[in-house]
Amino acid sequence: MLRIKSDQKQRVTLTVNDKTVSGFAQPRLLLTDFLRHELGLYGTHVGCEHGVCGACTIIIDDVATRSCLRYAVQCDGMKLRTVEGLEDVDGTLNALQKAFNENGALQCGFCTAGILMSATKFLQENPKPNRDEVRDMLSGHICRCTGYEQIVRAILQASGQ
């Protein structure tokens, strides 16, 4: 087994939004800190750092994951998708982002990236969800601004309903 000293930095290389990027991380560096402060991907936010609020959710190897509960070194070689990679190829807002805008599904926007990433994965697995399924999915996220109703509407709209 490879042993790394606790204060020794090692190179971590991963694919983020289809681009190969790399940086250095001590074994205990959280993935959130690595993404934000090492790679400069500030779109992923940290609301609690203990796995409850969902703000830090990103997609790792096709699974919606709380990045505050991962170490960067655990993700070496993996494929990540973050909010920075959501726009359509032509650089315009994708259907989900547009629906958030049109329905007023965000206010301060701090929780939004995490919710967008969860909702993206959710809609891939359940393209025509009903209201209660959407509300249920959202139970893994805390939003203090919106009261959730407009988020539910936006996700339903993005699903074409």
Q: Which is nearer to ligand FES, 40 or 109 (CB)?
A: 109
Residues 42-71 that bind another protein (CB under 8 A): 42-50, 52-53, 55
Q: Which of 15, 17, 49, 135 binds ligand FES (CB under 6 A)?
A: 49
Is 147 among the residues that bind ligand FES (CB under 6 A)? no
- Minimum distance between the CB of residue 108 and another protein, rounded to whole angstroms? 3
Tell me: does residue 4 bind ligand FES (CB under 6 A). no
Binding mask 87-126 for ligand FES (x = CB under 6 A): -------------------xxxxxxx--------------
Instruction: Describe the strand order of the beta sheet including 19-25 as a list of residue ranges.
Output: 19-25, 10-16, 79-81, 57-60, 63-66
Residues 112-131 that bind another protein (CB under 8 A): 112-113, 116
Residue of 14, 29, 54, 113 that binds ligand FES (CB under 6 A): 54
Report residue 93 as tokens: 């807002």
Q: Which of 26, 76, 95, 157 lies at the binding interface for another protein (CB under 8 A)?
A: 26
Query: Is 86 a residue that touches another protein (CB under 8 A)?
Result: yes
